[in-house]
Amino acid sequence: MNLAGKKILLGVSGGIAAYKSCELLRLLQKKGAEVRVCMTESATQFVAPLTFASLSKCPVYLKSGAVEARPFQHIDFPRWADLYLVVPATANAIGKFACGIADDPVSLCFMSCNCPRFIAPAMNVAMYNSPAVKRNLEALRGFENTTVLESPAGELACGEVGQGRLLEPAEIVKWLEANSVILSVAHCAESKDLPAVPKAPEPPAFPVAQDIEPTLDKTLPGYGKKVLITAGRTEEAIDPVRYISNRSSGKTAVAIAATFLASGFDVSVVAGPMEAEFPGGVHVTRVKSACDMHAAVLAQAKDADVLVHCAAVADYRPKAPANEKIKDSRSQLVLELVPNPNILRDCTAARLEGRAKPSQVIVGFALETDHFKEHAAEKLQKSGADALLLNAPVASGSGFGFDDVRYALVRPGADIPEMKLGSKVDLAQEIVDFAKGKLDGRI
């Protein structure tokens, strides 16, 4: 069955396999499908909703609400869909479906859904073989218009081997394309004249799934190109338990990484400490200090087509960190600080000196709290970057830890635009569009 033009609702419940749903979303998009996402609250502990919002270009339906939340999302989302995939489906989610419990977005959509529904279980082998899960799966196989994609045996996240492994995203897409009988039934919730959707036949047995690399789509603009992104914050040690840092959550970098990934780029990240999580398919190098980040970036930057310096790097570090915890004597403590290396300037110097690709596109960040345009223009000129993303955390409900931010993309030789309030997904798309335009000569 051709998935092009299909509207697919992807339900994500809270298991370690949730990261594979990011890959599934991208594979469905490559087939021409339009995808929206709903998540349980526990699923957000494994993959940040911002990741799915970035990839799907649509707000995620969450129990806590979304930017464009409406009071009837539990009806509107499944009514919009041609088919509903729950990947992964945990034992908890399966139990809710079987027993008619609807207290989160994924189970609410299952309850109100009239289109074909597909459930891909994922859990530990002991849970999968428990009487309760077996009973619930058997009940779901008897539900009208519902198909259980059988879980193959294999190595599980816990290290055990057995049934309960999530069917690989590429295998799920392959199965959907092969089973045209299920997907060929028209879905229209507004019409009462259409015949009922027939009960889905049992799926064929699947072989043991191996780790499958995502199919590289040569039609995407980023195919064959590499982007390196710095993310999060840095921590500069004062002693073994104290450090100098800042409030960066890493959400902006996650949005940028996800948007480059959706455009077909090979995405690598050098990340300091942060709360947000990257989608599957992103290569992440973890660091803590500014010096560590400097070394990691310079080692990887030479092969990158695009560099995005998004991390909030400490400008200074203690000159002589203590080897033992500094005792609290309530007396005045004086710290001598020394400047950290400037990662952005050293990368532009490497490009200028031929130690990196001459066509490399470099985008820096400037977070300012006052005299925005003056400070941004000065930093852009000193850095030698191709563009600077000016942002400010001063608007209510935006900046650190929020999904919205005030920003403007500043370019050499052009007037600095007024900052606008938008989502970090919008900010990411503007950076990706600029990078693609520079690489293909349109900018």
Output the domain CATH number for residue 386. Answer: 3.40.50.10300
Q: How many CB atoms lie within 10 A of CB 319?
A: 9
pLDDT of residue 160: 67
Rounded CA-CA distance 269/173 in Å is 28
pTM: 0.59
Q: Measured between alpha carbons, how far apart are the two ends of the chain, in Å?
A: 40
Strands 306-309 and 226-231: parallel
**CB-CB contact of 88 with 169 (8 Å):** no
8-state DSSP, 238: S
Residues 82 and 141 in one domain: yes
CA distances from 12 to 169, 284, 356 (A): 13, 23, 40
How many separate helices (H) and strands (E) can be counted in the chain?
A: 14, 19
Position 205 in a domain: no
Residues 13 and 75 in one domain: yes
Which residues contact residue 343 at a Cβ distance below 8 angstroms, ignoring those fewer than 6 apart? 230, 290, 293, 294, 297, 298, 309, 311, 313
Position 188 in a domain: no
CA distances from 220 to 213, 215, 281, 283, 432 (A): 17, 12, 16, 19, 13
Rounded CA-CA distance 158/258 in Å is 27
Residues 275 and 382 in one domain: yes
Catalytic residue among 38, 58, 158, 188: 158
Domain at 73, CATH number: 3.40.50.1950
Strands 306-309 and 243-244: unpaired
Position 218 in a domain: no
Rounded CA-CA distance 267/257 in Å is 7
Cis check for the bond before 116: say yes or no (omega within 30 of 0).
no
Cis check for the bond before 88: say yes or no (omega within 30 of 0).
yes
Based on its alpha-carbon atoms, the radius of gyration of the chain, rounded to whole angstroms, reads 24
**H or E segment and range at residue 423:** strand 420-423
pLDDT along the chain (443 residues), means of 10: 88 91 92 93 89 87 61 69 95 95 93 92 90 93 91 69 84 83 42 34 34 52 94 94 88 91 91 87 92 95 96 94 81 86 96 95 90 88 94 56 80 89 88 95 89
| Residue 95, SS3 per DSSP | helix
163 bridge partner residues: 153
Position 12 in a domain: yes
Residues 400 and 266 in one domain: yes
Position 388 in a domain: yes
Residues 256 and 179 in one domain: no
**CB-CB contact of 134 with 150 (8 Å):** no
Name the residue range of residue 398's domain. 226-439
Which single residue is written with the structure tokens 């064929």? 204
Rounded CA-CA distance 376/398 in Å is 19
Residues 175 and 279 in one domain: no
**CB-CB contact of 46 with 52 (8 Å):** no
Q: How many CB atoms lie within 10 A of CB 247?
A: 10
Q: How many CB atoms lie within 10 A of CB 256?
A: 29
Rounded CA-CA distance 111/105 in Å is 10
Total structural domains in the chain? 2
Rounded CA-CA distance 356/301 in Å is 7
Residues 285 and 401 in one domain: yes
Residue 158 falls in the annotated catalytic set: yes
Rounded CA-CA distance 443/174 in Å is 39
Nearest by Cα to 83 from 53, 108, 113: 113
